[in-house]
Amino acid sequence: MEVSGVRKYIYSDTELDREEGQIIEDLKANSQPTIPDPDQWLDEKPEQNILLTTVDWFINWGRRSSLWPAICFPACCAFELIAANGPRFDLARFGMEILRASPRQADLMITAGTLTWKMAPNVRRIYNQMAEPKWVIAMGACAISGGIFASASYAVVPGYNHIIPVDVYVPGCPPRPEALIYGIQMLQKKIAQKRNVDIGKLVRR
């Protein structure tokens, strides 16, 4: 029905039913052929769906993609590490959003802060209790060399590498989260190159 010359239509119930029925009839008429499964790759030959890789690559992929840091942040660099764990920098992208309160559930120590000799035995104990294989990122000038305190204080350890082995050094005072993330990526590259299976030993047997 046209209303006072305006091109606007108001349907009666009957017209509305007829209109809806026509839409359904049109759909039925156009829907007789079946829609093919878009996942046609399932029909491809099985050998085209087999992913070949090495045991080393697979183990290293799992390890580098699920680094769990231990909570061990003795000083001010810790705030940059905390920021890196926030939503802006999103460490969850690397599978490492879980900071472990227990060293037995951690395989990465990020040494974010100045280390004093008084604290050193406890840091070494945390490292010793971490699960194998484990890695260490020295974050900040204090972690690398004792930083600004190294020459002026008898109480500061001149670098964590006097206490535990360090894999990656991230300079700065403090390093920004971007720098820490770059260091994490360097560690991931290092883990990716690790040999887990000694082929030579297997062949000699």
Q: Which residues bind ligand SF4 (CB under 6 A)?
A: 75-77, 113-114, 140-142, 147-148, 173-174
Q: Which one-letter amino acid corresponds to residue 174?
A: P
CB nearer to ligand SF4: give 23 or 148: 148
3-state secondary structure of 135: strand
Nearest to 108, CA basis, from 79, 138, 80: 138
Give the nearer residue to ligand SF4 in terms of CB position, either 103 or 146. Answer: 146
CB of 157 to ligand SF4, least distance (A): 12
Length of the chain: 205
CB nearer ligand SF4, residue 61 or residue 79: 79
Task: Provide the minimum distance between the beta carbon of 122 and ligand SF4 in the complex, in angstroms, as a whole number.
Answer: 17
Nearer to ligand SF4, 60 or 111 (CB): 111
Minimum CB distance to ligand SF4, residue 110 (Å): 12
- From residue 32, give the alpha-carbon distance in Å to each of 22, 25, 28, 40: 16, 11, 7, 21
Nearest residue to 54 via CA among 166, 192, 159, 174: 192
